[in-house]
Structure 1
Amino acid sequence: MIEIRLGLEDVVRTRFAISPLWEAVASVRVLKGADEHGLHRTWAERVRPQLAASNVDFGPLFDLVPVPTRSPWSGHVPGFICPPPTTPLPSLDVELATVRATPPALLRTTAEVPPARMAALRADPATELGRLADVLQAYWDLALAPYWSRILTLLEDDIRYRVGRLAEGGAQHLFSDLDPQVTWAAGTLHLKHRTVHGARRLDGSGLLLVPSAFVWPRVFSVLTEPWQPSLRYPPRAVGTLWHTRPATVSDALAGVLGRSRATILAALTAPASTTGLARRTGLTPGGVSQHLTALRTAGLVSAHRAGREVLYARTRAGETVVEAAGAGAPASTSPA
């Protein structure tokens, strides 16, 4: 059990943030076995073949994310590859710049990392950290970028809920349903942990709360200097992240975009290639390509290269348009 003692100043400085970098690192844990309940099986089955076909050497990243061999609780992650964010929603570029600028003194860990990997990092920090950041970027492009709109919506929805809880009833109300492993009493946050015990004082530095799609069923804590004291916890409804409903085409949306473009946008319940969308919608590949170009120009669809394929996904604007149109008008089932 870890006891995190928060003074008044700590409660005042408690804040939320989302970390694209941490999501990338936590998702590597999932690919390496930290998903015994299969929560992310749908995502992993799509991503693994794309990573294998990319010809990218992911060793600099995967070596630093140990396999959780004993239980979901095991497998510490070195702090220097995923420092807590300093702003509410940093871009991946900003977080990778922080990784590249990691001081050599922080290149240490008690995690089960291959000694040769740590030796290489310490021998030539600038080169090896730059290489690590490049690999993280390549991994992100393949494994997370096509799905980021969906993940980000889940994380932001959780933060809105938590902020409402804080406003309604203060810290006790905020933490009462954060996670079963977290309890609050008399200014102290109790975090269940199987290997770490003791009390930690924040001394006015405040607590950073980071919802994370890939940590369930764990809560990860960062309580060592020089980083911001943080809890990375599973957001509400994380179990529904990869659920897809039958694609429907709102008549209202079809009236604005045209039936074919509305059908394509509705069919993007998961990232898909031009060929895949043609199969889902019954449209010709050439027609799908033309409509995707128009939807990309309008900012409703984004494109992400995955090996030899280009996958298309709805942007946040695209998700909002589909949701708003579906809520406000009758819909018909698409040919998907």
Structure 2
Amino acid sequence: MTLLRLNTLALSRSRFALSPLAETLGSMMVLGKPCTDPWLASWHALHHGAFRAVLEADPFAEGLVRLLGSTKWLPSHIVIPPTGGMRTTLESELVPVARASDEEVRAELEESVAHSWKQHDLGWLTGRGWAARTTDLLKYTWEAHVAPDWPRRRALLERDVTYRAGLLAAYGWPRALQHMSRRSAWVGADAIRFNDRAFPDRVVGDEGMLFVPISVLSSGTWLCEAPPASYALVYPARGSADDAARIRPARSLERLIGTGRAAILHELEHPATSSELAAHLGLSLGTVGDHLTILRDADFVVGTRVGRRVVYRRTETGHLIASRKGD
């Protein structure tokens, strides 16, 4: 088991961030294979052919994507902690990727081969300038296959952050990290288990951890690391698969409290702000505010201030009402 150890200061400064680079890297892994997640089927069908054509025309790209999709060691020159918080841009993340030397790239890829569950060789690693070629592939994947879908994905990622920030404010980090992945868990008072493999423990610096959701993977995590002690844990966002199979509230609940309020109460299975509810349900902000006031007065929902935002969640009564079966 591998642990991330945090002192009190590091824990207090840990926060969430977004990473277009991580989203792009996950998208490359998914597009490089046949689709196995039904909720990604339409996006995969739209982009898989063009992506495969690019790989087939470039042995370097083909070999890299195949390796990334079948290893427990992602190269450290590609998995780098984002530095822009919730406003991180791909351009800023690609700067350190492009700076890696050929020697560093080869050493990391050899580690990836050693930790792969498939047979690989690095015969495709020819010529020079491998970091620049990797950067070009990431930039292409973002522009052609991720950026057109980014507004929807970003909304989903922000929703996950809102959900976990609400848990953090109400219950602390152990609850906020609960179910982040199958292998990640809080251990004792000062450590996070992030996988079951026997790698050395890491000590997080005083600036704290970053937690980075991505939408394109339904399982698995990876660790981003930058010297001397900067770390980010990439994890699957909640609701990625759920959106494809969204169930409307029971008609009996709609008859009881009204269609709009029933939709909001149903949606608050995952805590959200009023702006997120309005965007997700296609309602005006004023309408959502009116519904939330009534639901709050009925003790069905409660709001918790997180920074400048108010995050709404169901109360126990609201959860019981929303969970009732009906026709």
User: Which residue of 105, 110, 115 maps to 2:122?
Assistant: 115
- Structure 1 contact 215–232 (Cα < 8 Å) conserved: no
Q: How far off is 1:155 after superposition?
A: 0.5
CA 13–222 in structure 1, closer or farther in 2 if over 3 Å, else same: same
Q: How far off is 1:210 after superposition?
A: 0.5
Kindly report which structure 2 residues correspond to 1:152-167, keeping only aligned pairs within 5 A, or say none: 152-167=154-169
Residue 133 of structure 1 aligns with an amino acid whose one-letter code is T
| Counterpart residue number, 1:260 | none
Unaligned 5+ runs, structure 1: 246-315, 330-336
How far, CA to CA, are the matches of 2:232 and 2:50 in structure 1? Answer: 32
Residue 192 of structure 1 aligns with an amino acid whose one-letter code is N
Residue 190 of structure 1 aligns with an amino acid whose one-letter code is R
| Counterpart residue number, 1:267 | none
Kindly report which structure 2 residues correspond to 1:156-235, keeping only aligned pairs within 5 A, or say none: 156-184=158-186, 185-193=188-196, 195-223=197-225, 225=227, 228-235=230-237
With the length of structure 1 as denominator, give the TM-score of the two structures. Answer: 0.63
Q: Which moved more, 1:130-139 or 1:151-160?
A: 130-139
CA 64–142 in structure 1, closer or farther in 2 if over 3 Å, else same: same
Residue 174 of structure 2 aligns with an amino acid whose one-letter code is Q
User: Secondary structure at 2:169's aligned position in 1?
Assistant: helix
User: Which residue of 86, 94, 97 maps to 1:96?
Assistant: 94
1:306-332 CA-partner distances (Å, limit 9, x unpaired): xxxxxxxxxx99x94982359959xxx
- Structure 2 contact 24–138 (Cα < 8 Å) conserved: yes
CA 36–167 in structure 1, closer or farther in 2 if over 3 Å, else same: same
How far, CA to CA, are the matches of 1:219 and 1:57 in structure 2? Answer: 30
Count of aligned positions: 249
- Structure 2 contact 168–175 (Cα < 8 Å) conserved: yes
Q: How far off is 1:219 after superposition?
A: 1.6
Q: How far off is 1:32 after superposition?
A: 2.9
User: Secondary structure at 2:80's aligned position in 1?
Assistant: coil
CA 2–59 in structure 1, closer or farther in 2 if over 3 Å, else same: same
Identity %: 23
| Counterpart residue number, 2:81 | 84
Unaligned 5+ runs, structure 2: 114-119, 248-274, 289-327
Q: How far off is 1:62 after superposition?
A: 4.2
Q: How far off is 1:130 after superposition?
A: 2.9
How far, CA to CA, are the matches of 1:87 and 1:176 in structure 2? Answer: 25
How far, CA to CA, are the matches of 1:322 and 1:103 in structure 2? Answer: 48
Residue 152 of structure 2 aligns with an amino acid whose one-letter code is R
How far, CA to CA, are the matches of 2:60 and 2:19 in structure 1? Answer: 20
How far, CA to CA, are the matches of 1:203 and 1:135 in structure 2? Answer: 32
How far, CA to CA, are the matches of 2:55 and 2:125 in structure 1? Answer: 23
How far, CA to CA, are the matches of 2:208 and 2:280 in structure 1? Answer: 37
How far, CA to CA, are the matches of 1:221 and 1:55 in structure 2? Answer: 26
Q: Which moved more, 1:44-53 or 1:221-230?
A: 221-230
Q: Which moved more, 1:97-106 or 1:13-22?
A: 97-106
